[in-house]
Amino acid sequence: MMKSLLIANRGEIACRVIRTARRLGIRTVAVFSEADATALHVRLADDAVPIGPAVARESYLVSEKIIAAAHSSGAEAIHPGYGFLSENAGFAEAVQAAGLVWVGPSPESIRAMGLKDAAKARMIAAGVPVTPGYLGEDQSPERLQAEADAIGYPVLIKAVAGGGGKGMRRVEGAGDFADALQSCRREAAASFGDDRVLIEKYILSPRHIEVQVFGDKHGDVVHLFERDCSLQRRHQKVIEEAPAPGMDAATRQQVCAAAVRAAEAVDYVGAGTVEFIADASQGLSADRIWFMEMNTRLQVEHPVTEAITGVDLVEWQLRIASGEPLPRRQEQLAIDGWAMEARLYAEDPRKGFLPSTGTLEVFELEGQARIDTGVEQGAVISPFYDPMIAKVITHADTRDEAREQLAEVLEEAVIWPVRTNAGFLVQALRQPEFAAGTMDTGLIAREGEALMPPERPSEDALREAAGALVGERRLAGFRLNAPPRRTASFLLDGAAIEVVGSQPEDEGAEAVLISEAGQTWELRHWRITGTGAGGAGDGAILSPMPGRVIAVDVAEGDRVAKGQMLLTLEAMKMEHGLIAPFDGTVGALETEVGAQVSEGALLVRIEAEES
What CATH number has the domain bearing residue 566?
Answer: 2.40.50.100
Rounded to whole angstroms, the Cα distance separating 261 from 609 reads: 76
pLDDT digits (tens, 9 = 90+) for 544-597: 777 889 999 999 999 999 889 999 988 655 577 888 888 999 999 999 999 998
Amino acid 476: pLDDT: 43
Shared domain check, 603 and 474 = yes
Instruction: Please report, for the domain that includes residue 41, its CATH number.
Output: 3.40.50.20
Shared domain check, 349 and 472 = no
Shared domain check, 591 and 488 = yes
Choose the final residue of a domain: 383, 407, 440: 440
Shared domain check, 170 and 234 = no
pLDDT over threshold 80, residue 359: yes
Contact predicate 289/277, CB 8 Å: yes
Q: How many structural domains are present in the chain?
A: 5
CB-hemisphere CA count at 13 Å for 574? 6
Average pLDDT value over all residues in the chain: 90
Q: Which amino acid is at 190?
A: A
Shared domain check, 602 and 469 = yes
pLDDT over threshold 90, residue 45: yes
563, part of any domain? yes
Amino acid 548: pLDDT: 87
Closest to 317 in 3D by CA, of 61, 21, 46, 95:
21
DSSP states of 313-349 as a string? HHHHHHHHHTTPPPSS-GGG----SEEEEEEEESEEG
225, part of any domain? yes
Rounded to whole angstroms, the Cα distance separating 161 from 167 reads: 9
Shared domain check, 355 and 274 = no
pLDDT over threshold 50, residue 395: yes
Would you give the distance in Å from CA 410 to the centre of its chain?
14
Shared domain check, 238 and 332 = yes
Give 540's contacts (C-beta < 8 A, 6+ positions apart).
Answer: 491, 494, 495, 496, 602, 605
Out of 152-161, 241-250, 331-340, which region has the weakest mean confidence (pLDDT)?
152-161
110, part of any domain? no
Amino acid 479: pLDDT: 44
Closest to 278 in 3D by CA, of 374, 336, 206:
206
Rounded to whole angstroms, the Cα distance separating 234 from 15 reads: 28
Q: Give the H or E element holding residue 121.
A: helix 116-125
Choose the final residue of a domain: 201, 218, 246: 201
Amino acid 484: pLDDT: 39
The whole domain housing 224 covers: 205-336
Amino acid 486: pLDDT: 41
Contact predicate 149/141, CB 8 Å: no
250, part of any domain? yes
Shared domain check, 315 and 210 = yes
Contact predicate 539/584, CB 8 Å: yes
DSSP state of 82: S
The residue ranges of DSSP E strands in 360-518, in sequence order, are: 362-364, 370-373, 380-381, 388-396, 414-416, 487-492, 495-500, 511-516
pLDDT over threshold 90, residue 610: no
Choose the final residue of a domain: 143, 178, 201: 201
174, part of any domain? yes
Amino acid 501: pLDDT: 39
pLDDT over threshold 80, residue 531: no
pLDDT over threshold 70, residue 95: yes
Instruction: Please report, for the domain that includes residue 253, its CATH number.
Output: 3.30.470.20
Shared domain check, 360 and 310 = no
Rounded to whole angstroms, the Cα distance separating 101 from 109 reads: 16
270, part of any domain? yes
569, part of any domain? yes
Instruction: Please report, for the domain that includes residue 189, its CATH number.
Output: 3.30.1490.20
111, part of any domain? no
Shared domain check, 427 and 485 = no
pLDDT bucket at 488, cuts 50 / 70 / 90: low
Closest to 515 in 3D by CA, of 565, 560, 586, 454:
454
Shared domain check, 352 and 281 = no
Shared domain check, 521 and 472 = yes
Catalytic residues: 297
Amino acid 496: pLDDT: 63
Model pTM? 0.80
φ, ψ for residue 101, nearest 5 deg: -85, 130
